[in-house]
Structure 1
Amino acid sequence: MTTPQPANPFFPPGVPAPPNTGNEQLGPGAPSPFIHEEKPLYPLRAQESHASSFFAFAEPILGPFGRVLDKIAEKRRALDLPFPGTAEHLQKETKQTLLSNFFYDGARADMVKTLSVNPIFQVTHAFSMGATSAQGPVPPSYNFGAVYGSDKVFMQAGLDDSMSVTMRANGRLARGHISKVQAQLAAQEGASFVQLEHDYQGLDHAANIKALNPSPTDGAGIYVANYIQSLTRNFALGVETIYQRQSADAQESMMGYLAKWTSNSRDAIATAQWQAQGMLGCTYWQRLSDRVEAAADLQVITAAGKREAQATVGAKYDFRMSTFRAQIDSSGKIASQLETRLAQAFAFTVGGEIDHLRSQAKFGLGISLESSPSEMMMDPNSPPPPPPSVPM
């Protein structure tokens, strides 16, 4: 059994996928200029922002048609179907538990200055050195970033030492509707990109459309649309279609299918993704106790004559001031990482990975220094202001 190369399951080899967080455009070990949604640098406040229908924001001006939409929405609410989540975050719980999205090698240092909590306003300095990749050592890097977030708008930008500029902006247009744009300008050929995206979240369904490097002249680019719907209180199905156009003579489309099962107590989730070109991804997540979670992931690739698969199991332990993650996969890799907060403004991370089959090892070390707004430091006993619910 061989290890499949990490790739977006919806795209054939060599085709860049629309980035979810911007991390796909960076080399291993480099600090991400985009927010890590599974591990944000600032507190997020959950808020119900699901629309009763796609045109709910326009119902007051739709007249009789708006009343029809109201009755359809009432019928849907009577079914009492839960929100299934988005297709992009189908495996969110598994990704938050496994170490794959959190582990790094080399040394990192982050300095975060919080200028305001509501609205969120932060500046960050991120340093990285000693990291390695499949191509060899990664040179040291520095990234300066800024974040602004309110209930309606989220903006983030970064500038690294190679003069690569990245940006991300989200806007909540109406209840259940969020538009997004991501972009990067870099000197390296093929590294620059722009992505336009719109999210819609209903009471029991979600839809998303996105375009990567769209060209208004010849229609070139990659276009993605997906939809997921709860069928019962425990089961949801979805579909995703991708259209890629490089020129008038080079275009391709493909379909993908999604399935999600959730237990009655919401402490266990199983997902499956199947792509017509021969890629299957399955995950299972379970909360064992208030502080312990376990997850398993299986990736199978049978495309282009390949027969590859990889299985990963891991667990996460949450303590009062720290989090410990450990995992093992079918390729013989064992990894673990400890994140601990030694003081209110100081966090320390240490992790390691051993590849028994290749007799290789990696080690990562990181520190994070944070500072609070001056008004909070003047009165440390006062409760912090509630953070906004940024449109993510």
Structure 2
Amino acid sequence: MGLGVSKCEAPAPDPTILLPPPPPGTAAPGGAPPPDGAPVVNEKFKNNPGTYEDLSKKCKEIFPQPFEGAKVMINKSLNQGFHVSHTLTMSSITPSGYRFGTTYIGSQLLTPNDPALVLLGDTDPSGNLNAQGFFNWSEALKTKFVVQVMNSKFAGTQLGLDYKGRDFTASATLANFNLFNETGIGVVHFLQAITPKLCVGAELMYQQAPQIPGGAATALTCSGRLTTDESVWSAFAGTNNLGLSYYRRLNEEIQLGIELENSYQQQQLIAAIAYQFDLPKANFSMKAMIDNNWTVTGVLEKRLLPMPFNLSICGSLNHVKNQFRMGCGFSIGA
């Protein structure tokens, strides 16, 4: 957990690769139930607390994802299960150029929200590759992987397994594991529902590398989440840091999120507050945040109906460094 910092994950694929709409009559993963009212959650798992890594998901979704420069994306659905995308990026601080992306969604559905197989990937003209996939063996057991190839070498790998019980979720992950160099990261998560509104869990991380004193290190983090009718509180305390996040929906248009994190090693406190403002009738959405480094960021998104066009405008200003960045994105297709 933390403010957008992953302690164990390998680099993820480019965020411009988005999961396309599901086949008619189903719901997108994490989305609303289909119109016919088919149940989304199996009664067997109605008290399941979800995964450990999603403890503060509601709050993190409020925070904007800034970008710099210009970005154009074209999406095309070849059929219900296979989709492609073309992305052209021009930026002075992030990798620029053309990327080709693909998404495959298996036809078998375990639930309206969960296809048995999902594969995503993107590549550039130099052959650099980002890929990730999910395979649901059953409603309780899920495998996931992430692979990144840079300059014809594996830059990052990750393999994970999630097991979902009636009122708990257990997960195990291996990242950048290399037996020959004796390096890698192993993480075990466990999350238990105490009541329908309260869950607690723990994360045990083991990292092995030659540059670490003694050759290896472990870290234990304990976490919890409290969900009320109007808000979601989540907190964690570990060997290296502690933090708190708060999410609240103020009304139908405005959502609020606050995150605090204190790092013992870096002796640094990070605090940020964000909000999301939605106008569904105008097909307009805005996310904005400010942190204790006096960085203000905002992202505006507008869907240009009836055409399948989306316009995004981003701005970020650091008042201390007097640094300003701006981005503009345009996407065509689903």
User: Which residue does 1:259 correspond to in 2?
Assistant: 224
The structure carrying a bigger helix percent of its residues is: 1
Deviations 1:91-132 (A, max 9, x none): 111111111xx2111111111001223xx3110011111242
Counterpart contact for 1:210–1:223, Cα < 8 Å = yes
Q: CA RMSD in A?
A: 2.6
Aligned to 2:53: 88
| 3-state SS of 1:82 partner | coil
Deviations 1:211-256 (A, max 9, x none): 1133466864211110011112322110010112236961222211
Task: Look up the match of 1:126.
Answer: 87
Whether the aligned pair in 2 keeps the contact of 1:51 and 1:176 (CA below 8 Å) is no
Cα 1:176–1:295, aligned 2, differ >3 Å: closer, same or farther? same
Give 2:125's aligned residue.
161
The change in CA–CA distance for 1:274 and 1:154 in structure 2 (over 3 A counts) is: same
Alignment partners' CA distance in 2, 1:34 and 1:92? 19
Letter in 2 for 1:18: E
Matched, 1:18 2:14: no
Checking the alignment, whether the CA contact within 8 Å between 2:188 and 2:203 is kept in structure 1 is yes
Please tell me the residue identity of whatever aligns with 2:41: E
The Cα shift of 1:161 comes to 3.2
Q: 1:357 to 1:218 in 2, by over 3 A?
A: closer
Q: 2:157 corresponds to which residue?
A: 194
Query: Residue by residue, what CA displacement relative to the aligned partner does 1:315-341 show, whole Å, maximum 9, x if unpaired?
Result: 101112121111111111112111010
Tell me how far apart the structure 1 counterparts of residues 268 and 90 of structure 2 sit (CA, whole Å).
32
Aligned to 1:241, the other structure's residue is in SS state: strand
Identity of aligned residues (%): 22
TM-score by length of 1: 0.72
Note if 1:271 corresponds to 2:240.
Answer: no
How big is the shift at 1:82? Answer: 3.0
Structure 1 residue runs without a partner (length 5+): 11-16, 24-30, 53-80, 133-137, 372-392
Equivalent position to 1:176, from 140, 144, 147: 140
1:48 aligns with 2:41: yes
Q: Which structure dedicates a bigger proportion of its chain to strand?
A: 2
Larger Rg: 1
Instruction: In structure 1, give the amino acid aligned to 2:284.
Output: S
- Preserved contact between residue 66 and residue 314 of structure 2 (Cα < 8 Å): yes
Deviation at 1:347, TM superposition (A): 0.5
1:35-114 pair list within 5 angstroms: 35=18, 40-43=19-22, 44-46=28-30, 47-48=40-41, 82-99=47-64, 102-114=65-77
Supply the distance in 2 between the matched residues of 1:211 and 1:167 (Cα, whole angstroms). 16
Unmatched runs of 5 consecutive residues or more in structure 2: 23-27, 31-39, 107-114
Return closer, same or farther for 1:215/1:302 CA change in 2, 3 Å cut-off.
closer
In 1: Cα distance, 2:105 partner to 2:287 partner = 29
Q: Report if aligned partners of 1:239, 1:258 keep a CA contact under 8 Å in 2.
A: yes
Q: Is the 8 A contact 1:33 1:159 kept in 2?
A: no
Number of residue pairs matched by the alignment: 306
Match of 2:256 in 1: 294
Match of 2:35 in 1: none
CA distance in structure 1 between the aligned counterparts of 2:322 and 2:198, rounded to whole angstroms: 43
Q: Is the 8 A contact 1:153 1:169 kept in 2?
A: yes
Alpha-carbon distance in structure 2 between the residues aligned to 1:169 and 1:203: 25
The AA in structure 2 aligned to 1:146 is T
Supply the AA of the counterpart residue of 2:136. Answer: R
Secondary structure of 2:333's match?
A: strand
Deviation at 1:89, TM superposition (A): 1.1
Judge conservation of contact 1:33–1:143 (CA < 8 Å) in 2: no
For 1:213 and 1:149, the matched residues in 2 are separated by 26
Per-residue deviation, 1:268: 0.7
Residue 288 of structure 2, aligned match among 312, 326, 331 = 326
Query: How far apart are the structure 2 equivalents of 1:161 and 1:218?
Result: 30
Code of the residue aligned with 2:199 in structure 1: it is A
Query: Could you say if the C-alpha distance between residues 103 and 42 of structure 1 is closer, same or farther in structure 2, counting changes exceeding 3 Å?
Result: farther
2:104 equivalent among 99, 124, 148: 148
1:289 aligned counterpart, secondary structure:
coil
The answer as to whether partners of 1:106 and 1:364 remain within 8 angstroms in 2 is yes
Label 1:221 to 1:281 Cα distance change in 2 as closer, same or farther (>3 A): same
- Tell me the distance in 2 between the aligned counterparts of 1:220 and 1:141: 32
Q: Which moved more, 1:82-91 or 1:290-299?
A: 82-91
TM-aligned CA deviation for residue 365 of structure 1: 0.3
Match of 2:48, SS state, is coil
1:268·1:287 contact (CA, 8 Å) conserved in 2? yes
Question: Is this contact kept in 2: 1:240–1:257, CA < 8 A?
Answer: yes
* Aligned residue type for 2:103: V
C-alpha displacement of 1:85: 2.0
Aligned pair partner of 1:312 in 272, 284, 287: 272
Q: Equivalent residue for 1:74?
A: none
How many angstroms apart in 1 are the aligned matches of 2:318 and 2:148? 34
Shift in Å, 1:284: 0.3
**Aligned partners of 2:15, 2:138: CA distance in 1, in Å?**
29
